[in-house]
A and B are shown apart, each in its own frame.
Chain A
Amino acid sequence: MESVGRLDHNHQLSLNDLPYIVRWEDPRCTRCGRCTAVCPVRAIEPGVFEKRLVESTGPIPLPTTVRKVVSGVRQVTDIRRRCIGCATCRLVCPNDAIRPEFNPANKFNWHINQEGEPYKRGGRRNDPGVSTLDQLKFTRISMLTDPALDAGRHEFRVRTYLGRNLPPEQLPLRVEGDSLVKDGTPFIPPVREIFPIRIGGMSVGALSPHMWEGLAMGVAYLNEVERIPVVMCTGEGGMPPRLLKSPFLKYFILQIASGYFGWDEIIHAVPEMQCDPAAIEIKYGQGAKPGDGGLLMAAKVLKHIARIRGVPEYVDLASPPTHQTKYSIEEAVAKMITSMSMLFGFRVPVYPKISGTKTALAVLNNLARNPFAAALTIDGEDGGTGAAYTVSLDKMGHPIASNLRECYLNLVKIGKQNELPLFAAGGVGKSGNLAANAAALIMLGASGADCGKYIMQAAAGCLGDERNRCNICNTGKCPRGITTQDPKLYRRLDPDKVAERVVDVFVAADKELRKIFAPMGRSTELPIGMSDGLSVADKAVADRLQIAYAC
Chain B
Amino acid sequence: MCRLAAIISNEYFSPMENILALETMKEGHDGSGLGLILRDLGGEFEDLKEFPVLSAITTEKGFYDLDQFMVSRGFRTKHMWEPELSPNPGPTVERHDRYIVKAFEYPDHIRDKPFEEKAEFLLRTRLEIRAMGERDGGSIRVFSFWPDVVTLKAVGDPLEVGEFFGLDKKPIPARVVFAQGRQNTNYAINLYACHPFFIQGVFTMTNGENTAFVPIREYLTSRGEPGYVGYNSDSEVFAHILHFMRYRLGYPLPYYKDVITPLKDEEMEGRPDADALRLMKRSLRMLTIDGPNCVIGCDRDGTVFMVQDAKKLRPGVVGGVRGRVGLMSEVCGLTAAVPDRDTEKDVFPMKYDFVAVRPGAEEIETWNQLDGSTTTISLA
- Listed in ascending order, the chain A residues whose CB lies under 8 Å from chain B are 140, 142, 145-147, 149, 154-155, 157, 161, 165-169, 171-173, 175, 178-182, 188, 191, 193, 412-418, 520-525, 527-532
Nearest residue, chain B, Cβ from A160: B285
A188 touches B212 (CB 8 A): no
Q: In the assembled complex, how far is the CB of residue B301 from the closest CB belonging to chain A, in whole angstroms?
A: 14
Q: 10 shortest A-B CB distances, which residue pairs?
A: A521-B211, A146-B209, A415-B222, A180-B276, A525-B288, A182-B275, A168-B283, A529-B215, A532-B214, A165-B282
8 Å CB contact of A161 from B223, B285, B310: B285
Which of B107-115, B133-141, B165-173, B251-259 lies at the interface?
Answer: B251-259
Restricting to B209-265, which residues have a CB under 8 Å from any CB of A?
209, 211-215, 218-219, 222-224, 248-252, 254-255, 261-262, 264-265
A166 touches B279 (CB 8 A): yes
A522 touches B290 (CB 8 A): yes
B276 touches A529 (CB 8 A): no
A417 touches B212 (CB 8 A): no
A181 touches B279 (CB 8 A): no
B283 touches A165 (CB 8 A): yes
A171-B283 contact, Cβ under 8 Å, with A146-B209, A149-B311, A531-B214: yes
Q: In the assembled complex, how far is the CB of residue A145 from the closest CB belonging to chain B, in whole angstroms?
A: 5
Contacts beyond the supplied A168-B249, A171-B283: 19 A-B pairs with Cβ under 8 Å: A146-B208, A146-B211, A146-B292, A155-B311, A161-B282, A165-B283, A167-B283, A168-B283, A169-B248, A173-B280, A175-B251, A178-B252, A180-B273, A415-B219, A415-B224, A523-B311, A529-B215, A529-B218, A530-B212
Which residues from chain B contact A414 at a C-beta distance below 8 Å?
222
Which residues from chain B contact A147 at a C-beta distance below 8 Å?
292, 312
Which residues from chain A contact B250 at a C-beta distance below 8 Å?
175
Restricting to B266-285, which residues have a CB under 8 Å from any CB of A?
272-273, 275-277, 279-280, 282-285
Among B261, B272, B283, residue most surrounded by chain A Cβ atoms (within 10 Å):
B283
A179-B264 contact, Cβ under 8 Å, with A524-B288, A525-B290: no
6 A–B contact pairs at CB < 8 A? A142-B209, A165-B285, A175-B251, A414-B222, A525-B288, A529-B215
A521 touches B283 (CB 8 A): no
8 Å CB contact of B222 from A146, A180, A417, A523: A417
B20 contacts the other chain (CB 8 A): no
Cα A149 to Cα B252 in complex, Å, equals: 31
Which residues from chain A contact B312 at a C-beta distance below 8 Å?
146-147, 149
8 Å CB contact of A525 from B212, B218, B252, B292: B212
B72 contacts the other chain (CB 8 A): no
8 Å CB contact of A188 from B264, B279, B280: B279
- Listed in ascending order, the chain B residues whose CB lies under 8 Å from chain A are 186, 208-209, 211-215, 218-219, 222-224, 248-252, 254-255, 261-262, 264-265, 272-273, 275-277, 279-280, 282-286, 288-292, 310-312, 372
Q: In the assembled complex, how far is the CB of residue B9 from the closest CB belonging to chain A, in whole angstroms?
A: 25
Q: In the assembled complex, how far is the CB of residue A446 from the closest CB belonging to chain B, in whole angstroms?
A: 13
B222 touches A412 (CB 8 A): yes
Cα A498 to Cα B292 in complex, Å, equals: 42
Nearest residue, chain A, Cβ from B253: A178
A530-B283 contact, Cβ under 8 Å, with A147-B292, A175-B250, A179-B272: no
B282 touches A417 (CB 8 A): no
Which residues from chain B contact A191 at a C-beta distance below 8 Å?
282
A529-B214 contact, Cβ under 8 Å, with A521-B290, A524-B310: yes
Which residues from chain B contact A167 at a C-beta distance below 8 Å?
283
Which residues from chain B contact A179 at a C-beta distance below 8 Å?
252, 272-273, 276, 372
B290 touches A523 (CB 8 A): yes
A173-B276 contact, Cβ under 8 Å, with A524-B311, A525-B212: yes
Which residues from chain A contact B255 at a C-beta distance below 8 Å?
180
A413-B311 contact, Cβ under 8 Å, with A169-B248, A530-B212: no
Cα A179 to Cα B252 in complex, Å, equals: 7
B276 touches A530 (CB 8 A): no
Cα A443 to Cα B14 in complex, Å, equals: 47
Nearest residue, chain A, Cβ from B271: A179
A169 touches B249 (CB 8 A): yes
Nearest residue, chain B, Cβ from A415: B222
A530 touches B292 (CB 8 A): no
Cα A146 to Cα B293 in complex, Å, equals: 9
Nearest residue, chain A, Cβ from B261: A524
Cα A172 to Cα B249 in complex, Å, equals: 11
Q: In the assembled complex, how far is the CB of residue B354 from the closest CB belonging to chain A, in whole angstroms?
A: 12
Q: In the assembled complex, how far is the CB of residue A440 from the closest CB belonging to chain B, in whole angstroms?
A: 15
Cα A181 to Cα B273 in complex, Å, equals: 6
Cα A161 to Cα B262 in complex, Å, equals: 15
Which residues from chain A contact B282 at a C-beta distance below 8 Å?
161, 165-166, 191
Which residues from chain B contact A142 at a C-beta distance below 8 Å?
209, 211
Cα A171 to Cα B211 in complex, Å, equals: 27
Which residues from chain A contact B222 at a C-beta distance below 8 Å?
412-417
Which residues from chain B contact A417 at a C-beta distance below 8 Å?
218-219, 222, 286
A168 touches B273 (CB 8 A): no
